[in-house]
């Protein structure tokens, strides 16, 4: 009854307000307020219906029996906070004795139907506290990143790259997860994801290095923001070896600045580039590799030697690069042992895993088989009609469905051009710095020329 009254009041207010033109944010607030009231009104009955209540304590039952009063009702978890968000609500609950976080993750589907929300997900914040994130609509249908999602100064290499299905922003944080692997079949959205990453990195003080074996079609248009680019395996090998020697120079610098002495407090001993004074700190480098399998395939003996040197350089960068501020972002369709020796060793170093739609279970296993087996199923269930949807694993072994905003190549080119002045000059990589030239026309005619008599 109370719910009906509230609904009538809210609808009447909305009907009155409809006559005035209100900005979009007003209707977002209005929707969130409406959803909050609905959740609060239904809360106790939903918790009871979903089996998320606990019986009252014995002492209350005894008191009721002694006072000959009705027995107290089962108790729901206590609401600690209810926060409306742009996409729905966040409800923080304190568990009652005897409850655990799994009860809530198992009941998310029942909660979603009972509260009339599009999706509900749960996570344990800390012991006894569970957070339910509810979204009112399919946030991955048309991704719009919240305006406040931007790289923050406290964590300079943490960039917002996609939206999670619970409405939260998915960040790529190079300092906590230095190296990442992105897999996906053709047309699954890998390039758009990588482009979004470049757009997030472009305004930061970071050097971008690209290896794009698709003859440079993905990364060369963004060349003005790149400090080094390679578009074939031969150049890629030289570039990777130059990066390895740059890494060794950075280690020498860190070593020279360590000032290890018993008199120096621990905090002043530098162990990586972030411990160095800002004036001395080398620019961090993010290395983006598109279609990594192209670097690992070979047909002749010479190509095999080149392949081994490339994989060795990548493994060295993955093993030692973090402290020298070198981060790898590797993209491909498959990345398993069939690509030859060294690949699984390299994959083990790539902590951040993202899988777009894959064609078979073994491809999904390459991303998640060794860290989150249930994410494998989620990755193979992605529909071909929704390019860009991906499953992202996190450091805790958990995973989430995400989708990057649809960044067009034009938008990415404009953003890279706007931030071209930030492109650092790395002397070790100078020979690979792209020069802006107008490409000569392709030697193979791409269209059949019309005959003179046509
Ligand atoms: N996040 C997204 N939102 C909406 N559409 C997307 C998204 N990501 C990709 N797409 C669409 O899917 C199509 C394929 O995307 P993309 O080129 O990134 O795939 P890919 O995996 O790199 O394919 P390939 O390996 O063949 O290059 C694009 O035309 C794009 O319009």
CA–CA distance, 70 with 68 (Å, rounded to integer): 7
- The answer, yes or no, to whether residue 443 has pLDDT greater than 90, is no
pTM to 2 decimals? 0.81
96 Cα–ligand 1 center, Å: 46
Structure tokens at 108: 């998310």
Q: Which atom of ligand 1 is nearest to the CA of 196?
A: 1
Give, using CA atoms, the residue closest to atom 14 of ligand 1.
187
Q: Is the CB of 294 under 6 A from ligand 1?
A: no
Cα angle, residue 266 at apex, residues 262 and 268 outer, rounded to 5°: 100
Measuring CA to CA, how many Å separate 392 from each of 49, 112, 149, 364, 399?
33, 23, 18, 11, 5
Q: Is the CB of 347 under 6 A from ligand 1?
A: no
Please classify residue 256 by burial: count the beta carbons closer than 10 Å to its beta carbon, then call 0-12 exposed, 13-18 middle and 19+ buried.
exposed
Mean pLDDT estimate for the chain = 84
241 is in an annotated binding site: no
Q: What domains are there in the chain, each with its CATH number?
A: 2-135 (no CATH), 158-432 (3.40.50.300)
- The answer, yes or no, to whether residue 24 has pLDDT greater than 60, is no
- The answer, yes or no, to whether residue 430 has pLDDT greater than 50, is yes
**Share above pLDDT 90 across residues of the chain, in percent, rounded to a whole number:** 42
Question: For the segment 376-400, what is each residue's pLDDT rounded down to a tens digit?
Answer: 888 888 989 999 999 998 656 678 8
Residue 214's CB is within 10 A of a number of other CB atoms, namely 13
Contacts of 174 (CB under 8 A, 6+ apart): 157, 158, 284, 286, 327
Give, using CA atoms, the residue closest to atom 2 of ligand 1.
388
423 is in an annotated binding site: no
Pairing status of strand 119-126 against strand 129-135: antiparallel
Give the mean pLDDT of 193-222: 92
Measuring CA to CA, how many Å separate 222 from each of 65, 408, 419?
76, 12, 11
185 is in an annotated binding site: yes
403 Cα–ligand 1 center, Å: 11
188 is in an annotated binding site: yes
305 is in an annotated binding site: no
Query: Which of 214, 387, 392 for mutating ligand 1's site (highest number of atoms within 8 Å of CB)?
Result: 387
pLDDT of residue 300: 85
Give the mean pLDDT of 320-331: 93
230 is in an annotated binding site: no
Pairing status of strand 88-94 against strand 129-135: antiparallel
Q: Is the CB of 189 under 6 A from ligand 1?
A: yes
- The answer, yes or no, to whether residue 84 has pLDDT greater than 50, is yes
Q: Which atom of ligand 1 is nearest to the CA of 194?
A: 18
Structure tokens at 349: 């170093």
Query: Which of 186, 187, 389, 401 for mutating ligand 1's site (highest number of atoms within 8 Å of CB)?
Result: 187
236 is in an annotated binding site: no
Q: Which residue has the higher pLDDT, 394 or 273?
A: 273
Give, using CA atoms, the residue closest to atom 11 of ligand 1.
387
328 Cα–ligand 1 center, Å: 21
Q: Is the CB of 388 under 6 A from ligand 1?
A: yes
182 Cα–ligand 1 center, Å: 13
Q: Is the CB of 246 under 6 A from ligand 1?
A: no
Give the mean pLDDT of 242-246: 94
Give the mean pLDDT of 28-37: 73
């Amino acid at each position: 009854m109370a719910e009906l009254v509230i609904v009538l009041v809210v609808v009447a207010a909305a009907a009155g307000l409809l006559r005035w033109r209100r900005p979009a944010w007003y209707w977002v607030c209005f929707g969130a307020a409406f959803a909050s009231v609905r959740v609060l009104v239904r809360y106790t009955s939903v918790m009871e219906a979903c089996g998320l209540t606990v019986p009252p304590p014995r002492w209350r039952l005894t008191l009721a029996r002694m006072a000959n009063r009705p027995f107290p009702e089962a108790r729901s978890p206590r609401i600690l906070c209810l926060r409306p968000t742009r996409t729905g609500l966040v409800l923080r609950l304190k568990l009652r004795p005897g409850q655990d976080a799994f009860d809530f993750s198992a009941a998310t589907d029942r909660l979603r139907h009972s509260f009339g929300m599009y999706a509900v997900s749960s996570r344990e914040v800390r012991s006894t506290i569970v957070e339910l994130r509810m979204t009112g609509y399919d946030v991955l249908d048309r991704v719009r990143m919240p305006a406040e999602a931007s790289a923050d100064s406290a964590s300079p290499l943490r960039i917002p790259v996609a939206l999670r299905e619970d409405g939260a922003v998915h960040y790529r944080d190079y300092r906590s997860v230095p190296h990442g692997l992105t897999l996906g079949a053709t047309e699954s959205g890998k390039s758009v994801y990588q482009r979004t990453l470049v757009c997030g990195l472009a305004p930061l003080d970071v050097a971008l290095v690209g290896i794009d074996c698709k003859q440079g079609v993905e990364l060369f248009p963004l060349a003005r923001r790149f400090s080094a680019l390679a578009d074939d395996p031969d150049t890629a090998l030289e570039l990777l070896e130059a990066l390895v020697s740059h890494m060794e120079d950075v280690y020498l610098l860190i070593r020279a600045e360590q000032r290890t002495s018993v008199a120096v407090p621990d905090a002043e001993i530098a162990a990586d580039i972030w411990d160095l004074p800002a004036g001395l700190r080398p620019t961090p480098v993010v290395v983006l590799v598109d279609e990594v399998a192209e670097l690992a395939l070979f047909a002749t003996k010479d190509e095999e030697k080149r392949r081994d040197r490339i994989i060795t350089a990548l493994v060295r960068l993955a093993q030692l690069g973090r402290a020298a501020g070198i981060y790898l972002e590797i993209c491909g369709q498959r990345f398993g042992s069939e690509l030859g020796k060294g690949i699984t060793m390299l994959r083990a170093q790539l902590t951040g895993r993202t899988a777009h739609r894959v064609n078979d279970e073994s491809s999904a296993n390459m991303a998640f088989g060794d860290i989150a087996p249930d994410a494998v199923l989620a990755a193979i269930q992605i529909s071909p009609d929704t390019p860009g949807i991906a499953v992202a694993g996190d450091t805790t072994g958990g995973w989430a469905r995400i989708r990057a905003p649809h960044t067009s190549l034009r938008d990415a080119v404009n953003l890279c051009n706007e931030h071209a002045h930030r492109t650092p000059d790395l002397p070790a990589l100078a020979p690979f710095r792209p020069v802006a030239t107008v490409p000569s026309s392709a030697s193979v005619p791409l269209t059949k020329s019309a005959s003179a008599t046509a």
